[in-house]
Amino acid sequence: MAAAGAACGGDASRAPCAFSPGGRRSLALCGPDGRLRVWDTPSSRLQHEYVPSAHLSAACTCLAWAPPGGRQFPSKEGPRRKKRKSEAAEAGEQFDLLAIGTAVGSILLYSTVKGELQSKLDGGHDNRINCVRWHQDNGCLYSCSEDKHIVEWNTQTCKVKCKWKGDNSSVSCLCISPDGKMLLSAGRTIKLWDLETKEVYRNFTGHATAVSSLMFTTVRPPNESQPFDGITGLYFLSGAARDRLLSVWQIRSDRKDKNAVMSFTVTDEPVFIDLTVSESKEEPVKLAVVCRDGQLHLFEHILNGYCKKPLTSNCTIQIATSGKDSDATPKPVPILAAAFCSDKQSLLLVYGNTLQPIIERVSLNTTESHVCLIRDVQKTMALQTEMSVTKVKTPVVNKEAKVLVPGIPGHSATIKSQSSGMQKLESKRKPGDKEDSIEDRLGAMDIDTVKIKTKGGLPQTDSFAVLLVQGLESNDPVILNKVLQTRKEALIKNTIAKIPVHAVIPLLHEITKRLQGHPYSASHMVRWLKSVFTIHASYLSTLPDLVPQLGMLYQLMESRVKTLQKLSRLHGKLYLIITQVAALEKIQDATDINQTAKLVYEEESSEDGSEDEMIADKDSDENWDEDEEKGEQSDEEEKGEQSDEQEMAIEKEINGESDLDPENESEEE
């Protein structure tokens, strides 16, 4: 008994695929173009190809084949024989049913026998479907979504049978127990539900990221002496996104132990897991894990309790090209899926690309720790193409009809029929004419941007957009240099606006590579980078893996900006020093200049007048002082004369000379 399943969890970059149960006769694979393809594994031929009507808006997110055996009806009355015949027909149809989960919340049921869509399940989810699982007994379908709910569907009536909330965040994966009574669900934590009561039976720790894989590894408990209730003692396996450890859990009777009992380590995130279920205590579990890096790891271990150290793979398988024909170095070929065959001694390997995969049966050899298979992928694909019957017909093109090439803007050349072109060439050729050399033909095919001019003399933005896309697809440095050396802002914006969205990421990679070069070219590339982020921001925001794709650009910008503050401080200090040195040099140069006047204004008279006035003022002050002194002297002399006269009068009176005439007195006075 084997169980296989692609990792759930809703990774847009991963192509959902699933092997049909009961012999691995078919492989359902949904490619990046939204088409569902069913391949026959023994012959590697395409059996069915289905294109959903809304495959662009509602992409396929998960796949699940209906289990063999169909539905079991509990009727016990007389006419049950008649019912069993109809039920057997329904079971046969259900064996070929394929459930397809979509990104808008609907589930499609595709019949590989009829080759058409049988029914559509709507109304259960309103967000992306992460995982779908069939019940092995009653034919019910279980689904989980980003809307945090789990839905049980009745596939006969296409209606919701039961719906309940599975987690506080999105539910990413489901798995039904071997007895069909329990359901495992996982977001980040893992829960075990009772399908009858829809109640949580056990809780487990889970992973740090969203769980992408869940499957039971045993159908019987290790201790067979104790009574078995259908679930206690069983082991199950879980893997998570961006987690290199696969954890193994055991459902125990006590509720205390919620941690994993052992783990397997791989080289990268698991993409597809297949295992052989252990049906007894002595039988080991064989595990095949396909990782995102394209390697396959094989494990073989007996589950017998707790193991602290992570277990490494017994064998690692890789596929590479021979490297003898055109390529000198071998190139790795990614493995997409792997499944154990019914004998458990051989593997089905699916490798190559999702549009044209190669399916090969390989015998197991776990004695070697590393096996590298050399395969010529191109030759194998060519043989498959020749063997398969193609239904593609070349359309007959009318001479008067004008057919435009879709896709890249600016391509508006008409498609001419090959026969008319050959007739024209034959009619033009003459026996004496020489055939053009290959160099002349290549020179005529050369596209030069200078030749494509508008009336104003500037190249057209249509031609620039076409040249840019051609340069990115062919990785031609000449064309890229001609386009990316443009400095006009308007031309850059128009060119970026007219390129298709599939060329945005390659253009960002090319700009990132040029940003690491010379600083002059880096400053020029910033204009293109700004236009890309401004015009195509809405498209870039829809990419789920944008951060890893632009990781180099983020690191480059952080490293450049990290030194900006230090450089600004250094620039300020150097600017202060340089200005001070320049000021000192100016002062020193100014002392050496001859300061003799070339022209003198005659303003000395005014200065002399002021000096004379000052001298005159001084003289007047001195004269004023002398006059005061003279006045004082005259007053003193007058006082001295009066005192002398009084003395003389007294002497006269004494001497008898007082009887003088009044006239004489007046004369004397």
Q: What pLDDT is recorded for position 38? A: 92
Higher pLDDT, residue 576 or 661: 576
d(CA 22, CA 511): 51
pLDDT in tens, 30-72: 887 778 899 999 888 888 888 877 656 678 899 999 987 654 4
Task: Tell me the two tokens of residue 302.
Answer: 């007996």
> First CA to last CA across the chain, in angstroms?
174
Q: 323 vs 186, 318, 332, 359, 631, CA distance in Å?
A: 44, 15, 10, 21, 138
**Residues 6 or more apart in contact with residue 595 via CB below 8 angstroms:** none
| Torsion 230-134-195-89 (CA) sign | negative
Specify the 3-state DSSP secondary structure of 311: strand
- 438 or 27, which is more confident? 27
- Phi first, then psi: give them for residue 72, nearest 5 degrees: -115, 120
pLDDT at 84 over 60: no
CB of 122 closer than 8 Å to CB of 106 = yes
Q: Which two tokens stand for residue 73?
A: 């009806």
* The pLDDT of residue 658 is above 70: no
Which of 471, 366, 458 has its CA nearest to residue 408?
471
Do 27 and 20 form a contact (C-beta atoms < 8 A)?
A: yes
pLDDT tens digit sequence for 261-307: 999 999 999 999 999 988 887 888 999 999 999 999 999 998 888 88
Percent of the chain with pLDDT over 90: 26
Please check whether residue 604 is in contact with residue 612, taking contact to mean a CB–CB distance below 8 angstroms.
no
* Nearest-angstrom CA–CA distance, 510 and 35: 31
| For residues 233-249, average pLDDT | 91
Cα separation, 237 vs 264, whole angstroms: 10
Which of 79-88, 377-386, 446-455, 585-594 has the highest average model confidence (pLDDT)?
585-594
State pTM to two decimals.
Answer: 0.56
Band (pLDDT 50/70/90 cuts) for residue 19 is very high
pLDDT digits (tens, 9 = 90+) for 168-180: 889 999 999 998 9
Question: Which residues lie below 8 Å from residue 63, measured CB to CB, with a gap of 6+?
Answer: 6, 16, 17, 18, 28, 30, 98, 99, 100, 101, 132
Can you name the residues that pair with 183 across neighbouring β-strands?
176, 193
Tokens of 185: 């669900």
Confidence check: pLDDT of 107 > 70: yes
Contact 466, 494 (CB under 8 A): no
Whether pLDDT at 560 is above 70: yes
148's tokens: 């945090």
**Cβ contact 100:60 at 8 Å:** yes
Q: Which of 27, 112, 46, 47 is nearest to 384 (CA)?
A: 46
DSSP state at residue 35? -
pLDDT band with cut points at 50, 70 and 90 for residue 669: very low
Mean pLDDT, all residues of the chain? 77
pLDDT of residue 228: 78
Tokens 């149960």 locate to: 21
Distance from C-alpha of 636 to C-alpha of 629, rounded to nearest angstrom = 11
Report residue 82's pLDDT band, with 50, 70 and 90 as the boundaries: very low
Give the other-Cβ count within 10 Å of 47's Cβ.
Answer: 15
pLDDT band at 515 (very low <50, low <70, confident <90, very high): confident
Tokens, residue 88? 């057997």
Q: Is 239 left (phi over 0), alpha (psi -120 to 50) or beta?
A: beta
237 near 214, Cβ under 8 Å?
Answer: yes
Maximum average pLDDT range among 188-202, 388-402, 649-663:
188-202
Q: Provide the pLDDT for residue 419.
A: 46
User: What pLDDT, on the 0 to 100 scale, is given for residue 135?
Assistant: 92
Is the pLDDT score of 209 beyond 70?
yes
If we measure between CA atoms, which residue out of 47, 94, 43, 89 comes closest to residue 66?
Answer: 94
- In this structure, are residues 172 and 130 in contact, taking their beta carbons and an 8 Å threshold? yes
Of 143, 140, 103, 138, the C-alpha closest to 124 is 143
Strands (E), 556-640: none
Element (H, E) at 465: helix 461-474
Lowest average pLDDT, out of 114-123, 483-492, 553-562, goes to: 553-562
What string of H, E and C letters represents the secondary structure of 395-420? CCCCCCCCCCCCCCCCCCCCCCCHHH
Percent of the chain with pLDDT over 70: 69
| Whether the Cβ atoms of residue 218 and residue 166 lie closer than 8 Å to each other | no
Per-residue pLDDT at 586 = 84
Most confident among 123-127, 377-381, 549-553, 637-641 (mean pLDDT)? 123-127
Average pLDDT over residues 371-389: 67
Residue 332 and residue 323 in contact, taking contact as beta carbons nearer than 8 Å: no
Separation in Å, CA 382 to CA 255, 329, 373, 385 = 57, 21, 19, 5
Residue with tokens 């740090």: 208
Q: Which two tokens stand for residue 457?
A: 């003399």
- Tokens representing 258 are 């919620």
Residue 349, pLDDT > 90, answer: yes
Question: Whole-angstrom Cα distance, residue 76 to residue 499?
Answer: 68
What residues form DSSP beta bridges with 663? none
Lowest mean pLDDT among 203-217, 246-260, 488-502: 246-260
Q: What is the rounded distance in angstroms from the CA atom of residue 600 to the CA atom of residue 597? A: 7
Do 405 and 62 touch, CB atoms closer than 8 A? no
The CA dihedral of 479, 485, 490, 492, to the nearest 10 degrees, is 50
- Residue-level pLDDT at 456: 43
CB of 66 closer than 8 Å to CB of 97: yes
Q: Is 430 helix (H, G, I), strand (E, B) or coil?
A: coil
Number of H helices, E strands in the chain: 15, 30
* Amino acid at the residue 542: T
